[in-house]
Every structure is written in C-alpha cells, then in structure tokens.
Amino acid sequence: MTTDQETSMSVTETGATIWLTGLPSAGKTTIAYELAGRLRGEGHRVEVLDGDEIREFLSAGLGFSREDRHTNVQRIGFVAELLAANGVKVLVPVIAPYADSRDAVRKRHQAEGTAYLEVHVATPVEVCSVRDVKGLYAKQAAGEISGLTGVDDPYEAPESPDLRIESHRQTVQESAAELYALLSERGAA
C-alpha cells in the first residue's frame, strides 16, 4: 500500500443522524433536502431516509398501528445508525409520533457511540392542514381515512429536542440554515 492510499483510507468523516420529527406536511422532508444539498455541496456524504420511501421499500406491509409505527421507526433508526457510524450524514424526515420510539433510536445511537440529533419541526396542525402536501388532511376531513397523526391519532412532541424549528415562521432556507448552524456547533458539519 502506498502512502497516498494509506492517507486517503485513514481520512474519515464524522457521521451523524439528524432526525426531523413533526406532523404530516410540517416541512420535514423539504428542510432535509435543502440541508442535504448544502452538505453535499461542501463534499459531505449525505443520505436522506425519507419516511414515505422507507414505508414503500423497507417497511412495506406495515400498517399504522402503534406497534407497526414503532417497528417502522426502529427499522429506520437501525439503517440511520449504520450509515452514520460509517461517516454519512443521515437526514431522517419521519413523523415518528411516539416519544418512546424516538427514545429507543436515540439510545441505540448512544450505545453505539454515534452522533444523534433530534429536531422537532414544530408546525401547527392548522398550518399543516393548509399545506396538505399529500392530501391527507382533506381525506381525513372527508372521512376517507382515519388515524391521521396529530388529528385523530396522537403525536407526542419532543419535550427537549436538540433544535425546534418553527417552519411556518421562516423560509425553508432559513430553517435549513438554523439546522446547519446546530450541526456546525456540534462538530458535525
């Protein structure tokens, strides 16, 4: 092995899981992709584990019972920790409505010594229902679906997140910049 190969192999990037939790249509995914673009532009290895994509591919067959939601969050948490432990910045825009499920993911990261940040995208349900990106609030109001998080199914907001973003009070770019500042402060950007 040459010296150049040794040098390039010894350079490692610090990975981290950045978990964005909030109601449907809160802005989690939009903020995650905005931040991902900035981080990639700086040369970071970045993955976005979008909750909808995970449901389609990794958690297909799971429903929306409390148990199934917990299983979904644990699967995502496992993949996120694995990637983060290998130097990837992992942005996870997932509702994850239950505090105990999110706490289990945080504990897994802590046990493995992997950086984990919880970000609450704290957008009021009234704003989310107007945004209604996927039409879920309209379907729930029309009686076509039930179990909508934050409406007729619980959402347990984080009590002490690493960051709380009020996406309805600022632009996507400002929200992503606020999150980037936290990553920089914590040595993860």
Helix (H, G, I), strand (E, B) or coil at 150: coil
Residue 27 in marked binding region:
yes
Q: Is 111 annotated as a binding residue?
A: no
Is 21 annotated as belonging to a binding site?
no
User: Residues in the chain, how many?
Assistant: 189
Q: Is 176 annotated as a binding residue?
A: no
Q: Which residues contact 131 (CB under 8 A, 6 or more apart)?
A: 25, 27, 123
Nearest CA-CA partner of 23 in 170, 131, 124:
124
Is 104 assigned a ligand-binding role in the annotation? no
Q: What is the 8-class DSSP label of residue 169?
A: G
89-93 β-sheet, strand order: 46-48, 89-93, 16-21, 115-121, 163-165
Q: Is 29 annotated to bind ligand?
A: yes
Q: Tokens at residue 12, please?
A: 């490692």
97 is in an annotated binding site: no
Cβ atoms of residues 47 and 53 within 8 Å: no
- Annotated binding residue 36: no
Give the span between the Cα atoms of 4 and 103, in whole angstroms. 42
- Residues annotated as binding site for ATP? 22-29
Residue ranges at the known binding site: 22-29
